[in-house]
Structure 1
């Protein structure tokens, strides 16, 4: 196994190929390196060298590792096997359907009932006079990528809902995503099938119904998260965007988040920059800049902040991109994160992921590349959500209940397929696969490790109602803890969050020990009980009782003036 920075430190060992992992064992340093097959993004055979055939493995967790296998034939066999095991053809072959929780006593049902969509809307006081639940999608006939329960304006009729659904790409009509306490709403949908001049009266009425749910504003925003040129290009294919001449009392905004292909290429360039063998300061900074990754992170945060500001002042917002399951999910969830302190807790953030990503049909299986398929469908859309959330935690270190470890664990298990939580492209897929019966839930696993994810600086009482981030370019940071965390050749800086968490744990242990010692003293003589006597404390009876404070045997006999008294 090669060391990227110092070839002299490369280690020799044995490479084991199992059904689920690639394991490298170095007997000299007694070190094992485990690589889960589902974490593997690409496998590449490099040109032959004098020492053997190199095999470069890049992982979806941003680990990059090179093995040099002495025999070219062995290298080719490992290469072809890893290609097959890392990209199964059938969804039933994913790791989650074979995984058994052997190390931890976690029942398979744990975590699957943590989130309930109707309960989440009830927390937002929905249904109410303005918003109601519709059962038109109960068997996924209206839109098969939406959840079965949809919340729509109470004034919208069945004809309006059906007409609007037919006029929207993939049937994804405008529905409620988040309702603020000032009655301003965040709604989501997909692009209209407007072409150059087509219109739909039902869809126009639908947007008017959304507007009327908010009595505090005479207009609403329609936010198209795409660059204007992309939306205009879609008009040539019969899709496009809303014509302001047909929709009354709306303000239309293009906010320019690039598509999945641009984001995929951007991340590839960022990874190449991180993998430079001998980077100079200028080459690294130029590489990060030319990748455009931080620019895209800023663009997503800018759009989310625009939406959050609009809702804060009482104006409803309808959001869409092309099909409404990538950029729309990003900005809906981040805007809600800025507006609602509940989503900054561990339980709340999990609910946010469940609602805006899992229920509303982000295509996790396609975007993460769980199965062998079209590589152009793969894109780091959810990775960007995690990165944007991390950016906010850096600016507001005391308002999030979770820490960096929580975000990294969430991101790692996004692609591990160890749990069934992120398998499938929509709610219907997960129900058809019966994932809640056949696989473990990530939320159940994380609940068993909650102490690892707590932010020691979190202070719920001082958390502001709305986060107002500084989105100046110089504030957006490169997340070394995500993209360079496996760099063993660079001396790692100690993570301040980990140090604080360890300090809190140590303080709690000292407090527990102090309380323990307080309980283990004889109130009469002050002697400390030995460990054998801890379970033999005797409360004094009657007038000798000091609030039932225990004493040792010797003091008990002395105080009661009895040497024959039987004691436990």
Structure 2
């Protein structure tokens, strides 16, 4: 008997001194490395290290490696401390410069007695949040040891050894901020509209049937009513899935349901597109950069995701039909479509609290495998089979909605950037593990802090609000025309282009809208749109 495959049970990392996301530190009182980490740290402290970052002044100081952080305290006064969560490191590139003479180890000595006068090394750290850091380290041995230590620490894959299990931010209590049963509350609110999701039916090559599944989908529809099944695979891919035990709903067994195929890339093709886009953004020559942006096809993926979500929303809102969305496992592209469709249709999902509930319901509790999908970002030299930026694609689509409807979302771009950063490397446990079963086994909610608890503190919450927000009870239909889909500069060019003018524009907008004047909001929104022109105009995918 056929059935459906079982779905899974359900910080900004470089900061100045006293950043709330990290504990205070000084080289003399660095966090002690647990025994499990101490053997991975070959050199803990190096003096006279020069840190370089694009567009920012270089900083020279003392570098220290702890179990979870790379720390730099500026010299000589130590008035600036820079932190990097080692989990944020995606790739380590090292280059050694031998500039002097070689002195072999003394008789009876070890290789550690070797001296190379004038030797130094450069380590380039490519981070998961797309920033690039360069460390110039005096001493060849120290350089190699630092690089080796960072590589080893960043590769630790035991969930319970990750930083969220050690982090204790001031003012927060454990188990504070973890959402309780948002699924049940939400489905009580939208009982009149049925947007369903599942994994694929396991019909297999013999076209097996599952009477229980047929009855379940049949009871959702009234007599004479029809529904739509949106399959996020191509018809050919769905057909091929039967050979490995999967498949689609046979028309004869589901006569009231009409199946629509809307192929969305996932897995390796999406990861390769992400990599090519990041490489294109690092390109200096404008002409070549535009061509590489086009060939990355990332904007095509954004367009396809929004188009499919609009289709689901149209079936619900305009046709008044029930909709079932599924692909293969139901934990990737399926969640992308259902989450975006709800954001388009439901104004409550566009509030800050509602958006957090949407993420809990449609991504975290629904079993998106964050640990697998976000294990590596765009710069890793090791290319695994499980990594895919499907959650980043969702955030990009949300940004497109916020740009096209600047008054309709209560939260701003800073929240989306924070979610991206924390999905790949975080001090909080919200995005740990791959499903609810794993989170329960690891006692994530009992042993780590929730990102929502931190973001919802009054002083933090204000940073993520959209000053232009005005409640919009209507459905928001995004344009998916090529000229309407733009590159998310705030993320992909975040560490390449200075954000000073944009920050000043937002500060001015906040000042202008203090009186909550609608005309002021509109003029402020137009002013912001002129701050940064879109560099990809005229090079849209899909033409």
Q: Same fold (TM over 0.5)?
A: yes
Question: Tell me, which stretches of 5 or more residues in structure 2 are unaligned?
Answer: 1-49, 100-118, 517-543
Structure 1 contact 366–377 (Cα < 8 Å) conserved: yes
Is the contact made by 1:54 and 1:68 (CA closer than 8 Å) also made in structure 2?
Answer: yes
Aligned match of 1:72: 140
Cα displacement (A) at 1:284: 1.4
Cα distance between partner residues in 2 of 1:271 and 1:446: 28
CA distance in 2, matches of 1:28, 1:274: 36
Q: Relative CO higher for 1 or 2, CA cutoff 8 Å, sep ≥ 6? A: 2
- For the structure 1 residues 271 and 33, does the alpha-carbon distance in structure 2 shift closer, same or farther, using more than 3 Å as the test? farther
Maintained 8 Å contact 1:87/1:370: no
**Which of 229, 254, 257 does residue 222 from structure 1 map onto?**
229
Matches within 5 A, 1:244-393: 244-276=251-283, 279-313=284-318, 314-369=320-375, 375-393=384-402
Q: Which residue is equivalent to 2:501?
A: 493
Q: Which residue does the alignment assign to 2:470?
A: 459
3-state SS of paired residue (2:501): coil
Measure how far apart 1:507 and its partner are.
6.5
Instruction: Point out the structure with max Rg over C-alpha.
Output: 1
Cα distance between partner residues in 1 of 2:389 and 2:92? 19
- Alpha-carbon offset, residue 492 of structure 1: 4.4
Which deviations, in whole Å up to 9, do the C-alpha atoms of 1:457-490 show, x marking residues without a partner? 1111xx14211111101111111111221236x5
Tell whether the 8 Å contact from 1:326 to 1:362 is kept in structure 2 after alignment.
Answer: yes
State the partner residue of 2:481.
472
SS at match of 2:324: strand
Structure 1 residue aligned with 2:63: 15
1:270-307 C-alpha deviation (Å, 9 max, x unpaired): 1112223xx12111111211111111111111100100
- TM-score, structure 2 as length reference: 0.75
User: What's 1:112 paired with?
Assistant: 178
Pairwise CA RMSD of aligned residues? 2.8
5 Å-filtered alignment, 1:512-551, equals none
Distance change (3 Å), C-alpha of 1:232 and 1:46:
farther
Q: Which residue of 2 aligns with 1:58?
A: 126
Of the three residues 475, 489, 492, the one matched with 1:483 is 492
| Cα gap change, 1:113 to 1:5, in 2 (>3 Å) | closer
Between the aligned partners of 2:506 and 2:98, the Cα distance in structure 1 is: 41
Normalised by the length of structure 1, the TM-score is 0.72
Q: 1:39 aligns with which of 54, 72, 88?
A: 88
Q: CA deviation at 1:204?
A: 2.5
Secondary structure of the residue aligned to 2:358 is helix
Q: Could you tell me how far apart the structure 2 residues matched to 1:206 and 1:49 are?
A: 71
Question: Following TM superposition, by how much is the alpha carbon of 1:431 offset from its aligned partner in structure 2, in angstroms?
Answer: 2.1
Q: Is 1:410 aligned to residue 389 of structure 2?
A: no
Matching residue within 487, 491, 511 for 1:503: 511
- Checking the alignment, whether the CA contact within 8 Å between 2:54 and 2:132 is kept in structure 1 is no
Structure 1 Cα separation of the partners of residues 96 and 280 of structure 2: 21
Counterpart of 2:310 in 1: which secondary structure? helix
Moved more, 431-440 or 390-399: 431-440
Distance 1:74 1:507, change over 3 A: farther
SS of aligned partner of 1:222:
strand
CA contact (8 A) 2:88 2:128 kept: yes
| Superposition map of 1:203-242 within 5 A | 203-212=213-222, 218-242=225-249
Q: Is the CA contact 1:115–1:354 (under 8 Å) kept in the aligned structure 2?
A: no
Unaligned residue ranges in structure 1 (runs of 5+): 125-178, 509-568
The C-alpha deviation readout for 1:114-136, integer Å capped at 9, x for no partner, is 65332232333xxxxxxxxxxxx
Q: Does the Cα contact within 8 Å between 1:227 and 1:258 map onto a contact in 2?
A: no
Partners of 1:222 and 1:6 lie apart in 2 by 49
Change (3 A) 1:491 1:311: closer
SS of residue paired to 1:236? helix
1:474 counterpart SS class: helix
Render the CA deviation track for 1:4-44: whole Å, top value 9, x for unaligned. 7689x655443221222112344389654321112112222
Q: Judge conservation of contact 1:220–1:315 (CA < 8 Å) in 2.
A: yes
Q: In 1, distance between residues paired with 2:453 and 2:502? A: 29
Partner residue of 1:153?
A: none
Superposed counterparts of 1:425-436, under 5 Å: 425-436=434-445
Supply the distance in 2 between the matched residues of 1:282 and 1:185 (Cα, whole angstroms).
47
Q: Can you list the C-alpha shifts for 1:377-398, whole angstroms capped at 9, x where unaligned? A: 1211111111110110000010
State the 1:406 CA deviation: 1.4
Q: Give SS of 2:305's match.
A: helix
